[in-house]
Amino acid sequence: MSVFSFLKNVGAKILGSSDTTPATPDELKKELAKHQLDAEGIEVQVDGDKVTVTGPAASTEQAEKIVLALGNTMGVSSVENKLDVAQPAAEARMYTVKSGDTLWKIAEEMYGKGNGAKYNVIFEANTPMLSHPDKIYPGQVLRIPELG
């Protein structure tokens, strides 16, 4: 169980959300479905700008993607991850995109100079939330998996 922090005035604007108020639990669950994340048995609770997510997740990767899909929405400042992971693995690092960042630049920073071409590892780790490597925005939180 861990708490992840987000900038509440950035992210996907979904029905009922604003830069100060998150969407309803039902709308947040629809956001998971939009990203083709299995929300079967997932419960989402909203308390102010904090979201708590409970239920089963097949893997650590899926749990992290669920947290990011919920947290990278308007009005959410933190997501408490209480998901039960069936196949636990090492957690990925998280990175908050800064103005001027590209996935290439992030790969160079996270994996070391000369590893910018590994940007695709970061892109793949954040699909389906990312639809294109050039579509990132300041304040967005990304999964940064270890290089295999």
CB-based contacts of 124, cutoff 8 Å, min separation 6 = none
Q: Which DSSP symbol is given to 116?
A: G
The span from the CA of 110 to the CA of 119, in Å, is 10
Does residue 98 sit in the same domain as residue 129?
yes
Does residue 47 sit in the same domain as residue 97?
no
Q: pLDDT per residue over 84-132, tens digit each? A: 999 999 999 999 999 999 999 999 999 999 999 999 999 999 999 999 9
Does residue 10 sit in the same domain as residue 58?
yes
What is the DSSP pairing of strand 78-87 with strand 43-47?
A: unpaired
Does residue 80 sit in the same domain as residue 123?
no
**pTM for the complete prediction?**
0.93
Where among 72, 87, 102 does a domain terminate?
A: 87
| pLDDT at position 146 over 80 | yes
For 21-32, b where at least 16 C-beta lie within 10 A, e where not — what string?
Answer: ebbebebbbebb
Does residue 10 sit in the same domain as residue 60?
yes
Q: pLDDT per residue over 29-76, tens digit each? A: 999 999 999 889 999 999 999 999 999 999 999 999 999 999 999 999
Model pLDDT, residue 1? 63
Model pLDDT, residue 119? 97
Does residue 67 sit in the same domain as residue 97?
no
Domain at 19, CATH number: 3.30.1340.30
Does residue 99 sit in the same domain as residue 140?
yes
Domain at 126, CATH number: 3.10.350.10
Where among 47, 71, 87 does a domain terminate?
A: 87
Give me the domain span that covers residue 74: 2-87
Does residue 19 sit in the same domain as residue 33?
yes
Where among 87, 111, 136 does a domain terminate?
A: 87
